[in-house]
Amino acid sequence: MIEQVKKNYSLYDGIFDRPFRRMIGEFAAGFHERRNKGSFSNIGVKTISDIVLLLKYAMGKLPLEDFWLDFGEGDGISSPIDMLDIALGHAVDELSRPIDAIRHQAKTVTVGTSRKEQPLRGIIYNLLTELIFSTKLLVSKNVQTISRIQPAIAAIRGYTLYDINNLDNDGNPGEGSTIAIRKKSGVSLQMRSRTEGSGLLMGTKKTIISTDHVYLGRGKSDGAPILIIPLRGDKPEFKSLLLIHVVFNETLTLKEKKEVLGYQYNDIRNLINEYNLPWNDRYLESLPLEMLLSEPLDMIAGQIRQLIEESP
């Protein structure tokens, strides 16, 4: 979309953009309807199958990390949107008769999308770049999470990068999975990690590798806020973990707090409603961001309940 180019959207911004996904969905519905009627019998099987698969990636129905496996880096094209543009061009060329409606709609969907992808930016993405990690090593759901919580992070105090080995063929940990420190920086240099005594992958880190979820909470030893990001390896049996010591940005506005909390905002509000108490967004202003992002939801809801009951 031309509008996305003007806004310097990254690949992830573009695919997660609701108006774009709606437009792709409308195009896909028309394409499948005509395909089921046999309108595209003269198009090659590979072209059709590529379009069907790429439409799913472009609508966000399939995880982007699988896209790299299905299509690789083909000729430097690394976006399902750009690949869809190319596949639709092949389809138009392969048709034995002009189909103006499809030609026009294909141009509407893809015009302006063939471009150099904008890199993801922000305090966390900049650290990943510094460590020479491509965002392609992130599970796509974690890209959304990191983009959401980045405004809440004011500074990085240090980090520890771990290598995870001996995972199974699906990238899941087992009893023999191991963890080893590859690199430390900042405050981490003064900290002793449990992994230095035992090389077995266990505890929270094992759960993170198993679920592939970003973890935002407190360190077990010092209670300091940390962010842990799982990173995929070149092979399923290898992964990495990046543990970052962070400082929260307590100057966020109420609106910004809600955006950072994401779905957790609704979870907290629903818990307050379970106490038969009315909800008001101003309750979030009474609690530090560090607590809202680090403590269990039950504890947060209990704190808000106490504030409500103590208020005149």
For 32, phi and psi rounded to 5 degrees? -65, -35
Q: Tell whether 242 and 138 lie within a shared domain.
A: yes
Residue 118 lies in a domain: no
Q: Distance between CA atoms of 18 and 16, rounded to whole angstroms?
A: 6
pLDDT digits (tens, 9 = 90+) for 95-109: 754 545 444 545 544
Range of the domain at 87: 2-110
Q: Tell whether 134 and 197 lie within a shared domain.
A: yes
Spatial CA neighbour of 72 closest among 81, 85, 88, 83: 83
Spatial CA neighbour of 117 closest among 81, 144, 70: 81
Q: Distance between CA atoms of 276 and 155, rounded to whole angstroms?
A: 38
pLDDT digits (tens, 9 = 90+) for 192-204: 877 777 789 998 8
Q: Which two tokens stand for residue 86?
A: 């190319």
Q: Domain boundary residue among 88, 110, 132?
A: 110
Q: What pLDDT score was predicted for residue 113? A: 45
Q: What pLDDT score was predicted for residue 75? A: 45
pLDDT digits (tens, 9 = 90+) for 20-63: 778 888 888 888 888 888 878 778 888 888 888 888 888 878 87
Domains identified in the chain, total number: 3
Handedness of CA 295, 298, 302, 305 (dihedral sign): positive
Residue 149 lies in a domain: yes
pTM of the model: 0.70
Show Cβ contacts of residue 303 under 8 Å, excluding neighbours closer than 6 positions. 287, 291
Type of residue at 168? D
